[in-house]
């Protein structure tokens, strides 16, 4: 599933290229997670002002309204002046004067939704409960610590929930916890202020490095210009069950938490 680094890498790979483009047409394929929310022809002629991101949502600001895009479990975007004919898994084409933005999503858990403003009820429903951005100044260590003190669940589950800090998905939660020396099963409210500060720094470090490396390409992720990510080659624990820890040589363990795989080193992450 594309996580925050993959979504941010995708955004950067086409944001400048599509900026100021006018919409010529929209093609819809098979239904996605939610309906688009307007007649596609209503968007023809509108201009793309900018491309932002909130958590795992891409926010295409138009001169009138917004398009919210989510890549779901298996989605990816392409942006080019010369795309081939749409295939069976190509479910949305935004044809502009600067090229076509296409959403490919084999499992169709992704979404493209139009909202008139980011204060509209639908936008609030999708974005309003998201936690702070982990790479922003609003992600403060003390606020993070106080938030964790109110959570009695396992720290890995709290990170994945996204209502305290957004976008720290399965790969990067596992890597951040390893870097901080915290086991994924440790209860969030049991973490000391010092350990939370280490985790706070680890989250920023891991996500920043992942973006620098173009995200993680585990199956078929690539950015909107077709570039694969390479962070998976640097993973310390994720996807390495049974292999020796890069730090101490102990075999990495795999457990299941809430239907998600968690990887950790039993020595480097004692508690």
Active site residues: 2-3, 56, 260
Angle between helical axes of 4-18 and 193-212 (0-180°, round to 10): 40
How far apart (Å, rounded) are the C-alpha atoms in residues 125 and 111?
14
**Ramachandran category for residue 192: left, alpha or beta (phi over 0 → left; psi -120 to 50 → alpha):** beta
Helix (H, G, I), strand (E, B) or coil at 238: coil
| Beta-strand runs (E) in the chain | 23-28, 48-54, 57-62, 66-70, 76-80, 90-96, 99-104, 111-115, 253-257, 260-264
Tokens of 267: 């020595």
């Amino acid at each position: 599933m594309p996580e925050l680094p993959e979504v941010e890498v995708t955004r950067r790979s086409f944001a400048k290229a599509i900026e100021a483009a006018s919409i010529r047409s929209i093609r819809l394929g098979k239904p996605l997670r939610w309906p688009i929310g307007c007649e596609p022809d209503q968007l023809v002629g509108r201009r793309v002002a900018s491309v932002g991101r909130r958590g795992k949502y891409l926010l295409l600001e138009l001169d009138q309204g917004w398009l919210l895009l989510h890549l779901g479990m298996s989605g990816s975007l392409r942006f080019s002046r010369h795309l081939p004919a749409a295939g069976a898994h190509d479910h949305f084409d935004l044809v502009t004067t600067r090229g076509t933005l296409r959403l490919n999503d084999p499992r169709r858990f992704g979404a493209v939704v139009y909202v008139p403003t980011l204060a509209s009820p639908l936008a609030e429903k999708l974005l309003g409960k998201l936690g702070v951005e982990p790479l922003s100044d609003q992600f403060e260590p003390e606020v993070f610590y106080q938030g964790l003190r109110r959570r009695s669940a396992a720290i890995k589950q709290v990170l994945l929930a996204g209502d305290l800090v957004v976008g720290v998905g399965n790969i990067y939660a596992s890597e951040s916890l390893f870097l901080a020396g915290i086991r994924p099963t440790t209860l969030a409210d049991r973490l000391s202020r010092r350990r939370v500060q280490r985790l706070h720094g680890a989250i920023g470090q891991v996500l920043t490095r992942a973006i620098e490396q173009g995200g993680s390409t585990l199956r078929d992720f690539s950015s909107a210009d077709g570039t694969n990510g390479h962070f998976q080659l640097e993973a310390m624990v994720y996807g390495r069950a049974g292999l020796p820890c890069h730090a101490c040589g102990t075999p990495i363990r795999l457990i299941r938490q809430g239907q998600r795989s968690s990887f950790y080193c039993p020595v480097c992450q004692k508690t």
